[in-house]
């Protein structure tokens, strides 16, 4: 018994030596902090020590701080490695290295393991699918986001924005409101009506079911199966099933309408994303019901999450900086006059240039998708380093957007960075809030149209004041960048500039 144990111990030690020698040799070829020879945890140990030695702030906040600190050490080299035990991961932190990784023609289109825990809800839709599945699917779905289609969603954006303004009217009597809640519910209403063609009335019902389910899905620590099954993972599975069943029930109802000849009575009703997918299903047989379900769930999840967070962060920053808010009000008064209830048109969206700058700067300061992952499909030379096939790569977009050489004084909130003359100076791939390259976000125009519509309605009607400073509302990585606490805002009715002039005359 003792000899067998001794043999196992020796063999284990030899395996450890072998992998440690390989890791040591690999580490010498690239920028990064080489782990100690017998450090079996790699950089995971450094992350844990970094968090333990810090105060009681959220764990994932300190993970981001660790990555930021490591970025500062190796920014000049454009990229660096991290080790999870004996598994290397490469982080890309400068525009040139990101360009070489993501641009058309490179072999870094495959998503890596980080997207696996989105699959319970999204399946293998556009966000999570393999390259083999993604290429024809992206080509098939791109026409669904054509400008003419997006223009048809404007009535939904306007209707839901108007309901949000009405909801906020009662909030003006309160000391503050947690603005992220009604904004998130509004985004949920918009995405269900545009994607599925059905109204769920989330804002009116104050229904947070879907939000609760999504919050469970994006808890990274539940990704480990053992933890997932012992904690609330079972509840999350139940909630995901409810969401899937709802989507499938809408598909069945739409199919019945389609087969009975009730195709939305020509153009009387709006055509939702699902209607377009069903046309592909029936007319070209290019999508199965399962395909439709996973793509709809993908766009619902991605569409509501990123849009609601960006709008929440934007309102928070606008409420912190009165000078920025004054410029937005001035622009809104110039475009809409004293009409605080008029629908936003496509022409208005194009004219809201300063609000566009504010949204762009919000996405720089609080990059809602702070990290994206890829896996190399072949050996690839990037910035002089040959990175082997199969390597996991992470683009630290949050670090890109805080590059002092590109964005001087990056902590400062300054929408003027995105005025045309300044935006032109930002290097290609230096600002990529919606990812970049062939596998960028297909719905980014949809999101920007929705956000500008909603924010223009809110700020035509109200003046807002954020009650907590930036050191109190911290950015925390889940899958997306969440505030560490609710965003407290005081809301007051406003008179437009024209009304103020009349009142004073």
* Residue pair 476/488 in contact by the 8 Å Cβ criterion: no
**Residues within the annotated binding site for heme?**
441
> In whole angstroms, what is the distance from residue 51 CA to residue 34 CA?
20
If DSSP codes are grouped into helix, strand and coil, which group holds residue 301? Answer: helix
Give the Cα separation of 243 and 239 in Å (integer). Answer: 6
Annotated binding-site residues read: 441
Residue 463 β-bridge partners: 492
Give Cα separations from 336 to 171, 225, 341, 368, 505 (angstroms): 24, 53, 9, 30, 21
- Helix/strand/coil (H/E/C) assignment for every residue in 438-472: CCCCCCHHHHHHHHHHHHHHHHHHEEEEECCCCCC
What does the block give as tokens for 401?
């957007």
Per DSSP, what are the bridge partners of residue 322? none
Length of the chain: 505
Cα angle 227, 231, 234 (rounded to 5 degrees) comes to: 105
d(CA 215, CA 218): 5
Helices 209-217 and 289-320 pack at an angle, to 10 degrees, of: 90
């Amino acid at each position: 018994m003792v000899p067998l144990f001794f043999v196992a111990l020796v063999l284990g030690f030899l395996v450890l030596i072998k992998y440690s020698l390989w890791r040591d040799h690999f580490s010498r070829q690239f920028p990064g902090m080489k782990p100690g020879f017998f450090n079996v945890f790699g950089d995971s140990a450094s992350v844990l020590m970094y968090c333990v030695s810090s105060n009681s702030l959220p764990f994932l906040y300190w993970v981001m701080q660790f990555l930021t600190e490591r970025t500062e050490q190796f920014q000049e080299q454009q990229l660096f490695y991290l080790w999870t035990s004996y598994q290397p991961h490469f982080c890309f932190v400068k525009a040139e290295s990101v360009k070489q990784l993501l641009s058309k023609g490179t072999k870094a289109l495959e998503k890596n393991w980080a997207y696996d825990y989105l699959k319970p809800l999204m399946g293998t839709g556009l966000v999570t699918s393999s390259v083999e599945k993604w290429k024809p699917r992206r080509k098939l779905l791109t026409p669904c986001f054509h400008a003419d289609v997006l223009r048809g969603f404007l009535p939904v954006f306007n209707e839901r924005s108007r309901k949000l303004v009405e909801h906020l009217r009662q909030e003006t009597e309160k000391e503050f409101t947690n603005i992220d809640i009604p904004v998130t519910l509004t985004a949920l209403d918009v995405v269900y009506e545009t994607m599925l063609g059905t109204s769920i009335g989330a804002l009116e019902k104050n229904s947070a079911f879907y939000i609760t389910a999504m919050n469970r899905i994006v808890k990274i620590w539940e990704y480990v199966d053992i933890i997932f099954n012992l904690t609330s993972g079972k509840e999350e599975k139940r909630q995901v099933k409810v969401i899937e069943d709802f989507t499938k029930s809408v598909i069945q109802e739409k199919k019945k309408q389609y087969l009975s000849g009730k195709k939305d009575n020509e153009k009387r009703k709006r055509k939702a994303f699902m209607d377009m997918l069903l046309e592909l299903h029936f007319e070209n047989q290019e999508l199965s019901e399962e395909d439709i379900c996973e793509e709809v769930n993908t766009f619902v999840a991605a569409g509501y999450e990123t849009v609601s967070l960006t709008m929440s962060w934007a309102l928070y920053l606008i409420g912190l900086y009165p000078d920025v808010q004054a410029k937005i009000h001035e622009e809104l008064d110039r475009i809409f006059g004293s009409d605080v209830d008029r629908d936003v048109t496509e022409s208005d969206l194009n004219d809201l240039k300063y609000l566009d700058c504010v949204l762009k700067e919000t996405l720089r300061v609080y990059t809602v998708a702070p990290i994206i992952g890829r896996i190399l499909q072949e050996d690839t030379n990037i910035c002089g380093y040959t990175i082997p096939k199969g390597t996991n790569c992470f683009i630290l977009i949050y670090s890109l957007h805080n590059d002092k050489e590109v964005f001087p004084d990056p902590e400062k909130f300054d929408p003027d960075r995105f005025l045309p003359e300044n935006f032109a100076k930002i290097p290609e791939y230096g600002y990529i809030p919606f990812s970049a390259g062939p596998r960028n976000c297909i719905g980014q125009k949809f999101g920007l149209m929705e956000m500008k519509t909603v924010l223009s309605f809110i700020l035509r009607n109200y003046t807002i004041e954020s009650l907590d400073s930036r050191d109190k509302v911290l950015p925390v990585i889940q899958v997306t960048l969440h505030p560490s606490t609710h965003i407290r805002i005081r809301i007051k009715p406003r008179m437009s500039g024209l009304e103020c002039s009349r009142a004073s005359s």
